[in-house]
């Protein structure tokens, strides 16, 4: 049995390495992806045809009786959608709304859907991001592969506005506002669609959304005249075993550390740790990483630092000296004014 586990671990590691190599090439413009350009063009054509089918009425679209804000992206590898959803949720509550969040629930498998996710839901049922959002916002969160069904459940539960997390390509759910998030450091990569590049849709999609939000400093040109800047600001350290929060300084743990990140863009998390003066070994993992019993048992005992997304899967298996870096999105006042005006016009 030990040999089987070792072989499975090696296979999973090889798959992660291959995936990471492809993603790095897609963002850095590696020449070995060029033979895949015809497949990328075909993928882009298929996605355009699909969108047109919804726009022409050949595919059904459900119009919710409440406003719907969709947050999504057109790139693989993580851009910061969930922090923006959490920010929107808190902002809407402050404006007097009663929002609900609908999301896919990737990595989770429930016995039935829609699944109302609470802070105590088993992560194996909900998936990591829905549970994280439920814990961060305290709002109704529904995980459902069918966004329309999930949105209907939120309306029936009394929500007067819906936030659709990672919902840009889920066109069966009508939307009043589309927000597209781009990672500032990586931009749109080599500009090609899957599998030749990291794009889910043509870059022209940026012209058809209501606002483009850039996470971090923009380092690559985008095909739009303007975009809103978003920064992920570290807030505090949370001790995983009891939830107690500590300020960023002085550090409540000793250096060096082991830092793990099973998110779409682990390097962004590690850069943040470096800016906070954290030193140690970085352990990038696959997005939505499934943690086993030995995942955090490193040869050299040190404090373990992780993201909030990883933390929801590690409560039962992390060593006692484990910590979560809590971050929140920060957006400019101009974006708040724009959003308030848009909602006033449609509600």
What is the dihedral angle through the alpha carbons of 323, 135, 211, 185, rounded to the nearest 10 degrees?
Answer: 10
- Give the per-residue pLDDT at 10: 46
Cα 43 to Cα 19, 26, 201, 223: the distances in Å are: 19, 15, 8, 20
Angle at which helices 128-137 and 81-94 pack, to 10 degrees?
30
140 pLDDT higher than 50: yes
- Residue 66 confidence class, pLDDT cut points 50, 70, 90: very high
C-alpha angle 179-197-273 in degrees, rounded to nearest 5:
65
| Angstrom distances, CA of residue 198 to CA of 24, 195, 203, 328 | 9, 7, 11, 26
Separation of alpha carbons 47 and 9, rounded Å: 35
pTM of the model as a whole: 0.91
pLDDT band for position 16 (50/70/90)?
A: low
Query: Is 11's pLDDT higher than 50?
Result: no
* Contact status, residue 234 vs residue 327, Cβ threshold 8 Å: yes
Q: For the ranges 252-256, 295-299, 340-344, which has the lowest average pLDDT?
A: 295-299
pLDDT classification of 8: cutoffs 50, 70, 90? very low
The helix (H) or strand (E) run that includes residue 302 is none
Identify the CA nearest to 327 among candidates 310, 303, 304: 310
Where would I find the beta strands (DSSP E) of the chain? 68-72, 99-103, 115-117, 141-143, 161-165, 177-183, 211-215, 228-239, 245-246, 257-261, 280-284, 304-306, 322-330
Structure tokens at 287: 């997005």
Average pLDDT over residues 40-50: 96
Closest-CA residue to 347 (of 178, 181, 162) = 162
Share of the chain above pLDDT 70, in %: 95
Place of tokens 């850039």: 214
Q: At 329, is the secondary structure helix, strand, or coil?
A: strand
Residues 6+ apart with CB under 8 A from 151: 62, 64, 68, 102, 142, 162, 164, 173
Name the DSSP class of 287.
Answer: T
Write the pLDDT tens digit of every residue in 153-170. 999 999 999 999 999 999
Residue 188 sits at φ, ψ, to 5 deg, of -100, 15
Q: Does the pLDDT at position 38 exceed 60?
A: yes
Render pLDDT for 244-266 as a digit per residue (tens, 0 to 9).
Answer: 999 999 999 999 999 999 998 89
Closest CA to 47 of 79, 19, 74, 77: 74
| Cβ pair 103, 84 in contact under 8 A | no
Q: What is the pLDDT of residue 297?
A: 84
Give the mean pLDDT of 90-109: 95
Average pLDDT estimate for 141-150: 97
pLDDT score of 13: 52
Please give the pLDDT value at position 295: 79
In this structure, what DSSP letter does residue 204 have?
A: G
Tell me how far CA of residue 4 lies from CA of 9, 16, 291, 299, in angstroms.
9, 18, 17, 21
More confident residue, 24 or 326: 326
Return the half-sphere exposure (C-beta side, CA atoms, 13 A cut-off) of residue 191: 5
Mean per-residue pLDDT for 239-244? 96
Segment 205-210 long-range contacts (CB within 8 Å, at least 24 positions apart): 205/74, 205/168, 205/180, 206/74, 206/180, 206/182, 208/178, 209/168, 209/178, 209/179, 209/180, 210/177, 210/178, 210/179, 210/342
């Amino acid at each position: 049995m030990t040999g089987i586990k070792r072989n499975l671990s090696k296979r999973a590691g090889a798959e992660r390495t291959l995936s990471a190599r492809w993603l790095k090439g897609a963002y850095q413009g590696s020449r070995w992806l060029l033979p895949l350009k015809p497949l990328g063009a075909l993928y882009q054509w298929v996605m355009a045809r699909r969108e047109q089918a919804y726009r022409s009425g050949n595919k059904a679209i459900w119009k919710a009786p409440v406003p719907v804000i969709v947050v999504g992206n057109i790139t693989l590898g993580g851009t910061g959608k969930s922090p923006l959803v959490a920010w929107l949720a808190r902002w809407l509550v402050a404006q007097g709304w009663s929002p609900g969040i609908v999301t896919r629930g990737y990595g989770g498998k429930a016995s039935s859907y829609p699944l109302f996710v609470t802070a105590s839901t088993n992560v194996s049922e909900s998936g990591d991001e829905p549970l994280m959002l439920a814990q961060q916002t305290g709002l109704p969160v529904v995980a459902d592969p069918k966004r329309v069904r999930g949105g209907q459940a939120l309306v029936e539960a009394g929500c007067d506005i819906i936030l659709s997390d990672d919902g840009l390509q889920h066109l069966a759910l009508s939307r009043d506002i589309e927000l597209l998030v781009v990672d500032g450091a990586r931009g749109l990569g080599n500009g090609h669609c899957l599998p030749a590049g990291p794009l889910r849709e043509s870059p022209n999609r940026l012209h058809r959304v209501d606002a483009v939000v850039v996470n971090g400093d923009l380092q690559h040109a985008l095909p739009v005249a303007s975009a809103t800047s978003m920064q992920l600001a570290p807030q505090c350290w949370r001790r995983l075993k009891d939830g107690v929060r500590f300020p960023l300084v002085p550090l409540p743990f000793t250096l060096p550390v082991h830092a793990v990140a099973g998110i779409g863009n682990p390097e962004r998390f590690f850069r943040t740790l470096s800016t906070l003066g954290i030193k140690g070994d970085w352990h990038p993992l696959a997005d939505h990483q499934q943690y086993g019993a030995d995942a955090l048992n490193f040869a050299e005992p040190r404090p373990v630092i992780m993201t909030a997304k990883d933390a929801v899967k590690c409560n039962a298996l992390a060593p006692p000296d484990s910590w979560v870096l809590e971050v929140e999105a920060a957006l400019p006042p101009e974006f708040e004014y724009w959003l308030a005006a848009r909602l006033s016009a449609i509600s």
